[in-house]
Amino acid sequence: MSLAISPLAPAQSPHLPPLAGVRLGAIEAGLKYRNRRDLLLVALAPGTTVAGVFTKSKTAGAPVVWCRQHLPAGQARGLLVNAGNANVFNGAAGAAAVNRAAGAAAAALACRPTEVFLASTGVIGEPLDAEAIVAAMDSAHHALDSADWAGAAAAIMTTDTFPKLATRTAKIGDTDVTLNGITKGSGMIAPDMATMLGFLFTDACLPAAVLQTLLNRAVARSYNCITVDSDTSTSDSVMLFATGAGDQHAIIEHANDPRLKDFKRALNELCHDLALQVVRDGEGAQKLIEVSVTGATSAAAARTVALSVANSPLVKTAIAGEDANWGRVVMAVGKSGAPADRDLLAIEIGGVTIAQAGRRVDGYDEAPVAEHMRGEAINIHIDLGLGRGRATVWTCDLTHAYIDINADYRS
């Protein structure tokens, strides 16, 4: 199926600069798709450190199991990603395919297999043809290049309608460092996390433990605050690689080193940018929806309420229909299970207060809200009036196109 580019896609894709210590090779391996690139090999400089956050699914794929196993060593020399087959639920054959692919990549990159990280995305339950990947390795290795970030982002897409890239610069002390990221994801998107792959790279020199702390925090506010359809994937992975091949900066040993402040800002922005691109490419999305909750008893309770609203099919179809049906927001708050008091609840849409103290405000005029609903970016704010917990999540509307895409994905 060929899909039209999402109407919410950014007007133009950013240009990513080369990043010292990273070379990318994206090729057509013919694993599932025809006439498009579907295999990405990334070569990383010696000394590259790595951090990762992975799906909490009980049926995680074989590549996720592999990455979890080798993450504690904190060292990476390669990354291998294929699109079209998730290599999930293939039993021992799935693990064997991972071993075979990692071995071939390690031979090409002259490193240990355990230094190669893997991700696969696509159909679940069909054996992955590892031999096809092995056969394509030479070609991928020859394609290695420091410039082709756009090709890399395109090669990891499945139902995505546009490649997702972002870049930031930051200072560590007086030294400039660069952060580049690519991501994919469009459906089966829900925290924790999504059919969502994210690969972030920096030329900074940071210990793996520091990277892991920074990545956990950045993902908690970005990738783990988006949902398209509440369906959590078996393959979700976000990894952050630090090559240390950029300009030399002060030695950093702890995540709370004050010299990391600007780097943290840049990393958070990078993750937020990429995560929102995923929502903007939500299957069938016509509207980008931000749901913010304040006044909850805790941040976790606020997130529960926000996700209950963001995942409600009735809220999402109302928004698809540009219908200011705020009663469904009341419903979704009520069903979330988090503490809420009907008679303290306040709701705003598009900055217009619709309800306060458990009822519609006197003289409520739907016209400005209806106007807001016709726009592309929808803002729903809920104040629970109970405490200081707050959270913001992002989602998209539920449209006919979601059903078109998903009623026949495999064909």
Give the residue numbers marked as catalytic.
195
Residues contacting residue 121 through CB under 8 Å, at least 6 positions apart: 81, 82, 83, 84, 86, 156, 158, 184, 195, 197, 233, 235
* Choices 97-105, 206-214, 231-239, 295-303 (CB under 8 A): range interacting with a second copy: 231-239
- DSSP run (H or E) holding 41: strand 39-44
Q: Sign of the CA dihedral 134, 138, 144, 149?
A: negative
- DSSP run (H or E) holding 66: helix 62-70
104 interacts with a second copy by CB under 8 A: no
1 interacts with a second copy by CB under 8 A: no
Q: Exactly one of 53, 311, 350, 394 binds a second copy (CB under 8 A); which one? A: 311
Site string for a second copy, 84-103 (x = CB under 8 A): --x-xxxxxxx---------
Write out the DSSP string of 108-159.
HHTS-GGGEEEEEEEESSS---HHHHHHHHHHHHHH-BSS-HHHHHHHT-SS
Q: Exactly one of 107, 123, 150, 299 binds a second copy (CB under 8 A); which one? A: 123
Cα–Cα distance measured from residue 52 to residue 71, given in angstroms and rounded to the nearest whole number: 7
355 interacts with a second copy by CB under 8 A: yes
17 interacts with a second copy by CB under 8 A: no
CB of 403 to a second copy, least distance (A): 5
370 interacts with a second copy by CB under 8 A: no
CB of 121 to a second copy, least distance (A): 12
323 interacts with a second copy by CB under 8 A: yes
Tell me if 249 sits within 8 A of 205, measured CB to CB.
Answer: yes
Q: Give, in order, the Cα–Cα distances in Å from 321 to each of 204, 316, 399.
A: 47, 9, 9
Query: 243-302: which residues touch a second copy (CB under 8 A)?
Result: none
**First vs last C-alpha separation in the chain:** 8
367 interacts with a second copy by CB under 8 A: no
Residues contacting residue 394 through CB under 8 Å, at least 6 positions apart: 225, 226, 227, 275, 276, 279, 288, 289, 290, 291, 310
57 interacts with a second copy by CB under 8 A: yes
320 interacts with a second copy by CB under 8 A: yes
CB of 362 to a second copy, least distance (A): 11
Q: Sign of the CA dihedral 289, 167, 179, 146?
A: positive
Encoded tokens for 69: 């196993």
Cα–Cα distance measured from residue 147 to residue 167, given in angstroms and rounded to the nearest whole number: 13
Closer to a second copy at the Cβ: 173 or 334? Answer: 334
Give the binding-site size for a second copy (rule: CB under 8 A). Answer: 69
Closer to a second copy at the Cβ: 6 or 195? Answer: 195
Closer to a second copy at the Cβ: 109 or 309? Answer: 309
Q: Exactly one of 231, 247, 257, 269 binds a second copy (CB under 8 A); which one? A: 231
232 interacts with a second copy by CB under 8 A: yes
368 interacts with a second copy by CB under 8 A: no
Binding site for a second copy (CB under 8 A): 55, 57-60, 86, 88-94, 123-127, 187-188, 190, 229-234, 311-314, 317-318, 320-321, 323, 325-328, 330-336, 339-343, 345, 355, 357-360, 398-400, 402-403, 406-411
